[in-house]
Amino acid sequence: MLGPFYVPGAQRMPLGASISKDGKGEPMLVAGRVLDRAGRPIADATLDVWQAAPTGFYDTQDPQQPAFNLRGVFATGADGRYRFTTVKPSSYPIPDDGPVGEMLKGAGRHPYRPAHIHFIVTAPGFRPIVTHLFMAGDRYLDSDAVFGVKESLVVTPSRIDDAERARAVGVTTPFWEIAFDFVLAVRATERPCRAPVASRRGFP
């Protein structure tokens, strides 16, 4: 699910950099690997990430946020690993002041999405994936307004109070940490079209 709040052109950042431009919110470290289906690391895979602020608004909705706040693009190292810092996301309501709102009300559903971070993960020769990670314990996990939650995409943030580790990753204590490995499938090779074989009657 790409969603309506994706914006191309986010800044490419070094591993470990923060996508939070205003520093508002509880710091969070996000790390993991990009692997192929055999478990081998994929170097130079690209992760395009974005999320809403703790207020529940994306930068494109909120003039108080800096442009491209909570957006960034990262490349994995030779070991397939990625990491960046951000702030802990929160649940938020989707815009419900039009036909979508009427539909939700008619179905007796609320407009809320559980807290999540979006990812587009790509690598040459592999099929891209567009997905998001959801925070365990969110009250809306079982009733996501857009039915985007899968159990395999739910991660449990760990609270870290280690000041030395916080300094090492460039955040303050306490901070949150999540880990997740993305697995990419090899892109199928396109087969060339075969010319039709004429029959004895001259028809293909």
Catalytic sites, residue numbers: 58, 92, 113, 116, 118
Give dist(CA 96, CA 153) in Å, integer.
Answer: 25
Give dist(CA 131, CA 41) in Å, integer.
Answer: 19
Which amino acid makes up residue 121? V
Give dist(CA 116, CA 58) in Å, integer.
Answer: 12
Residue/partner pairs of 135-143 with CB below 8 Å, 24 or more apart = 135/88, 135/89, 135/178, 138/91, 138/114, 139/91, 139/114, 140/91, 140/110, 140/112, 140/113, 140/114, 141/114, 143/109, 143/110, 143/112
Give dist(CA 63, CA 57) in Å, integer.
Answer: 10
The encoded tokens of residue 124 equal 């040459």
Find out whether 104 and 50 touch, Cβ atoms under 8 Å.
Answer: no
